[in-house]
Chains A and B, each alone.
Chain A
Amino acid sequence: MVTNEIGRKIPEEIKGIGKLKPYIGAFKTVPVGNRMAPNIACKKRGETKIINSLKKAVKKAGIRDGMTISFHHHLRNGDYVVAMVLDLLADLGIKNLTIAPTALFPVHKSIIKHIENGVVSSIQGSVNGPIGEISSRGVFDIPVVLRSHGGRARAIEAGDIKIDIAFIAAPSADNYGNLNGIDGPSACGSLGYTMTDAMYADKVIAITDHLVDFPLSPISIPQIYVDYVVKVDKIGDPKGIMSGTLEITKNPLRLIIAQRVVQAIEASGLLQDGFSLQAGAGGTSLAVTKFVGEKMEKRGIKGSFGSGGITGYFVKMLKKNLFNTLFDVQSFDLEAVQSLKINPNHLEMSASFYANPHNKGCLVNNLDTVILGATQIDSDFNVNVNTESDGLLLHGIGGHMDTAAGAKLTIIATPLLRGRMPIVVDKVITVTTPGETVDVLVTERGIAVNPARKDLIEKFRKAKLPIKNIRDLRNEACDLTGIPEEPQLADKIIGLVEYRDGTIIDVIRGVK
């Protein structure tokens, strides 16, 4: 075991994974080597790509035991494709697959049987909910490797993970493998997360329920990367893919938090012409987006871009010219899909463009402010988004560590308590995002600023914001709740948290 820069003990090597590189700081790693490309391919004139069954397609793609296959999560909780593929591969008697999803959702709990039966023997990238829970209970021999959106793209491009077959659920496809996500009954908007897979996987199978005449336009995934196209009845359930109109929170506590976040952004001085913002789709984030938009309108501010998961609130701001551009890696609602389709300033971006630290400059480097959540945050401002207070691994990383590293102002917005659990702890169970990239914590009971940001502390004091020491917030929480017991974790390492640069920032132990 070695102790990494953030104080966590990391094994030097793990069987089935290889040697591990310990985390050395958020901006210290210098990449070496080349990008790892897939085999050179060749498709002759007249060769069709349309395969009339998924079974034939996977056989043509050369499916074998032990391969690594990948999926994207743009169909969110309405996805049918992951289960469809794994059910089929299980029927074919395939075993020991590594799956590399960009994220998993509750709908994917149907694949648990394939994990228990050895069809899937390891996961690289992300877990969620029930699959995270069985990981915590030790179902896998090899630890799950968790990566952020940027880190996953980096790992694929660098060859750290080699994808044998990428399965791309495509809301719209033509017969030669041009794909997009903006049309069709299962429209999902941006296909940003799957672009790296398309370019670097050895074989790419597109699965669609909406086949159109050649050529498809616009093209998100071009034909030159796609081997086969399979048409099925349904790739997903629109109700699970798309949220209806997402609404801002009505909870008075969360509204206070949102208002404080906006005050913090204003006090930081960043809310000027050229401002850029990323906020998620949760009720509090939407409220922040809405309030920031109102402030910008009032003060006549013209922002540069909004980014990340795009919602109707961002689209409204684009329409009102409060931003020049939206960069969309995931479209959360129908408004976002429609805007992506018709507005030339609403741009689709790949995960690599968005957040890969090992290219010539990803978008998070241009970001002014990001609003993020947390399951825990500690007195060093390290943030945990993966494990809950009882140690269960329940969430993937998403773009958390990427945006935190890139943004000028990283704000964690959360209630001080979740149920009876204080969010502020002495030491987080799992470090996902290192404190050196986290600037501000905003809760309903006060704002804590990372001591390294003396400039912000000064600005917030001038603006008379309710600043508190993060340890005082912890004490305030524990005064209300009592001091929680530390969870009893097993010795077995069931997960690795890989930082966006390929080093290991923390390990996740199983629950007893």
Chain B
Amino acid sequence: MKKRLRRTALYIPGNDPSMIQNAGIFGSDSIVLDLEDAVSVDEKDSARLLVRNALKNINYGDTEVIVRINSLFTPFGKEDLEVIGRVHPDGIRLPKAESAQDIQEVDSFLSRIENEEGFEENSIKIMPSIESAIGLFNVFEIVRASNRVAVINFGAEDYTSDIGAERTKEGKELFDIRTRILLAARVVGIEVQDSVFAHAHDIEGLIRETKFIKQLGFDGKSVIHPAQIEPVHQVFTPTQEEINRAKRIILAIEEAKKRKSGVISLDGRMIDAPVVAKAHRILKYAQAAGVL
């Protein structure tokens, strides 16, 4: 499976044909065709078929195509899975994930569909979204519940509402959920994306928040407006200094391998596997941003 970057995931309202057909041109790494919060209850059926047909007919190029289905606790979720699974999205974003059982249920669903349709086994990924206290409490079992789990997200609005916290622009109330899902993601080796910054025209605020979560270790962020994509990408774009250092690290390792030397150091610091892995990561982000 191709290792892809997930710096940005752009939400696309699932009942908006104009946005759906243009979703791939805004430059985000992933798009999330949304059947859940963006679609009113009486249009769920309509959006489902619109998204299904889009997946069948529209070429989104290299962009990862994810569909956010309705929670399996609603009357719509199972039908969403059944219909959307058959047109092979890259992934399913599962809202309100609360337990390993939720994931396993989706996993079996997808396995059956993959089998019936002749798709490669486990090719449709699951992206659980933690949106409640119980979900966060169970996050470690959620990320381990299936091999399909590739990315974990969270929903700031629903979560803060559930725990009775005040939702602020600054986001201090999200500190715990951010660090805990990050930890869970890293323990099993999957990616983690931050929640949306809802103020679409406040680019300064967006950049501030993105810099913060990048520092924490996040791989990317969900966005709600195309104007947010470029600023987020820029935050995740390594500086020339970082790129140069990464190149030197990789060179040093290669040299060391040739010399068959044991401990490698550069500029007085030890270079071990995690450092090398990070160097590769930096170059990968640099390449995606076109600065390499």
Direct contact of A and B (CB under 8 A): yes
* A253, A464, A479: the one within 8 Å of B25 (CB): A253
Q: How many contacts between A and B, using CB within 8 angstroms?
A: 19
- Assuming the A-B contacts A252-B225, A252-B226, A255-B227, are A480 and B290 also in contact, with contact meaning beta carbons closer than 8 angstroms in the complex? no
Taking CB atoms, residues of chain A closer than 8 Å to B227 are 252, 255
| Contacting pair B59 A444 (CB below 8 A) | no
Taking CB atoms, residues of chain A closer than 8 Å to B59 are 479
| Interface: A445 (CB within 8 A) | yes
| Interface: B22 (CB within 8 A) | yes
| Interface: B26 (CB within 8 A) | yes
Interchain CA distance A256-B227 in the complex, whole Å: 9
- Residues from 51 to 77 in B contacting A, C-beta threshold 8 Å: 58-59
Taking CB atoms, residues of chain A closer than 8 Å to B225 are 252
| Contacting pair A445 B25 (CB below 8 A) | yes
Closest A residue by C-beta to B18: A253
Tally of chain A residues near chain B (CB < 8 A): 9
| Contacting pair B58 A256 (CB below 8 A) | no
| Interface: B21 (CB within 8 A) | yes
Closest B residue by C-beta to A464: B290
| Contacting pair B25 A444 (CB below 8 A) | yes
Candidate in B21, B22, B27, B227 with the most chain A CB atoms within 10 angstroms:
B22
Closest A residue by C-beta to B59: A479
Encoded as 1 (CB less than 8 Å from any B CB) or 0, chain A from 469 to 512 comes to 00000000001100000000000000000000000000000000
Taking CB atoms, residues of chain B closer than 8 Å to A464 are 290
| Contacting pair B26 A256 (CB below 8 A) | yes
* B21, B26, B27: the one within 8 Å of A480 (CB): B21
Interchain CA distance A112-B226 in the complex, whole Å: 45
Taking CB atoms, residues of chain A closer than 8 Å to B26 are 252, 256
Closest B residue by C-beta to A257: B25
- Assuming the A-B contacts A252-B225, A256-B226, are A480 and B25 also in contact, with contact meaning beta carbons closer than 8 angstroms in the complex? no
Interchain nearest-CB distance for A463 vs B (Å): 10
Encoded as 1 (CB less than 8 Å from any B CB) or 0, chain A from 242 to 268 comes to 000000000011011000000000000
Interchain CA distance A445-B225 in the complex, whole Å: 18
Interchain CA distance A252-B226 in the complex, whole Å: 6
Closest B residue by C-beta to A443: B25
Closest B residue by C-beta to A415: B22
Interchain CA distance A255-B27 in the complex, whole Å: 13
Taking CB atoms, residues of chain B closer than 8 Å to A445 are 25
- Residues from 62 to 109 in B contacting A, C-beta threshold 8 Å: none
Interchain CA distance A437-B225 in the complex, whole Å: 37
Interchain CA distance A256-B58 in the complex, whole Å: 20
Taking CB atoms, residues of chain B closer than 8 Å to A255 are 226-227
Closest B residue by C-beta to A252: B226
Candidate in A256, A479, A480 with the most chain B CB atoms within 10 angstroms:
A256
- Assuming the A-B contacts A252-B227, A479-B59, are A444 and B22 also in contact, with contact meaning beta carbons closer than 8 angstroms in the complex? yes
Interchain CA distance A255-B26 in the complex, whole Å: 10
Taking CB atoms, residues of chain B closer than 8 Å to A252 are 26, 225-227
Encoded as 1 (CB less than 8 Å from any A CB) or 0, chain B from 21 to 55 comes to 11001110000000000000000000000000000
Taking CB atoms, residues of chain A closer than 8 Å to B290 are 464
| Contacting pair A256 B21 (CB below 8 A) | no
Taking CB atoms, residues of chain A closer than 8 Å to B21 are 480
- Residues from 263 to 292 in B contacting A, C-beta threshold 8 Å: 290
Interface of A is mostly: helix
Interchain nearest-CB distance for A453 vs B (Å): 23
Closest A residue by C-beta to B225: A252
Taking CB atoms, residues of chain A closer than 8 Å to B226 are 252, 255-256
Closest A residue by C-beta to B57: A480
- Residues from 49 to 78 in A contacting B, C-beta threshold 8 Å: none
Interchain nearest-CB distance for B196 vs A (Å): 16
Encoded as 1 (CB less than 8 Å from any A CB) or 0, chain B from 215 to 259 comes to 000000000011100000000000000000000000000000000
Interchain CA distance A256-B22 in the complex, whole Å: 12
Interchain CA distance A494-B184 in the complex, whole Å: 72
Taking CB atoms, residues of chain A closer than 8 Å to B58 are 480
Taking CB atoms, residues of chain B closer than 8 Å to A444 are 22, 25
Interchain nearest-CB distance for B223 vs A (Å): 11
Taking CB atoms, residues of chain A closer than 8 Å to B25 are 253, 256, 444-445
Interchain nearest-CB distance for A283 vs B (Å): 15
Interchain CA distance A343-B28 in the complex, whole Å: 44
Closest B residue by C-beta to A444: B25
Taking CB atoms, residues of chain B closer than 8 Å to A253 are 22, 25
Interchain CA distance A253-B22 in the complex, whole Å: 8
Interchain CA distance A253-B27 in the complex, whole Å: 11
Candidate in B27, B226, B290 with the most chain A CB atoms within 10 angstroms:
B226
Interchain CA distance A444-B226 in the complex, whole Å: 13
Interchain CA distance A238-B26 in the complex, whole Å: 39
Encoded as 1 (CB less than 8 Å from any B CB) or 0, chain A from 454 to 477 comes to 000000000010000000000000
Interchain nearest-CB distance for B169 vs A (Å): 22
Interchain CA distance A253-B290 in the complex, whole Å: 21
Encoded as 1 (CB less than 8 Å from any B CB) or 0, chain A from 192 to 220 comes to 00000000000000000000000000000
Interchain CA distance A255-B22 in the complex, whole Å: 13
Closest B residue by C-beta to A253: B22
Interchain CA distance A325-B225 in the complex, whole Å: 37
Interchain nearest-CB distance for A422 vs B (Å): 13
Interchain nearest-CB distance for B86 vs A (Å): 22
Interchain nearest-CB distance for B114 vs A (Å): 27
Interchain CA distance A253-B21 in the complex, whole Å: 11
Closest A residue by C-beta to B201: A250
Interchain CA distance A444-B22 in the complex, whole Å: 9
Taking CB atoms, residues of chain B closer than 8 Å to A480 are 21, 58
Interchain nearest-CB distance for B14 vs A (Å): 17
Closest A residue by C-beta to B227: A252
Interchain CA distance A188-B25 in the complex, whole Å: 40
Interchain CA distance A255-B21 in the complex, whole Å: 17
Interchain CA distance A445-B27 in the complex, whole Å: 10
Interchain CA distance A479-B26 in the complex, whole Å: 19
Interchain CA distance A226-B264 in the complex, whole Å: 90
Taking CB atoms, residues of chain B closer than 8 Å to A256 are 25-27, 226
Closest B residue by C-beta to A479: B59
Interchain nearest-CB distance for A477 vs B (Å): 12
Interchain nearest-CB distance for B107 vs A (Å): 34
Interchain nearest-CB distance for A40 vs B (Å): 62
Interchain nearest-CB distance for B273 vs A (Å): 32
Interchain CA distance A445-B26 in the complex, whole Å: 9
Candidate in B26, B27, B225 with the most chain A CB atoms within 10 angstroms:
B26
Interchain CA distance A297-B260 in the complex, whole Å: 54
Chain B residues packing against A (C-beta within 8 Å): 21-22, 25-27, 58-59, 225-227, 290
Q: List 4 tightest A-B contacts by C-beta distance, closest first.
A: A252-B226, A444-B25, A464-B290, A445-B25
- A–B Cβ pairs within 8 angstroms, 19 of them: A252-B26, A252-B225, A252-B226, A252-B227, A253-B22, A253-B25, A255-B226, A255-B227, A256-B25, A256-B26, A256-B27, A256-B226, A444-B22, A444-B25, A445-B25, A464-B290, A479-B59, A480-B21, A480-B58
Q: A252-B26, A256-B226, A445-B25 are in contact. List 8 more A-B contacts (CB 8 A).
A: A252-B227, A255-B226, A256-B27, A444-B22, A444-B25, A464-B290, A479-B59, A480-B21
Chain A residues packing against B (C-beta within 8 Å): 252-253, 255-256, 444-445, 464, 479-480
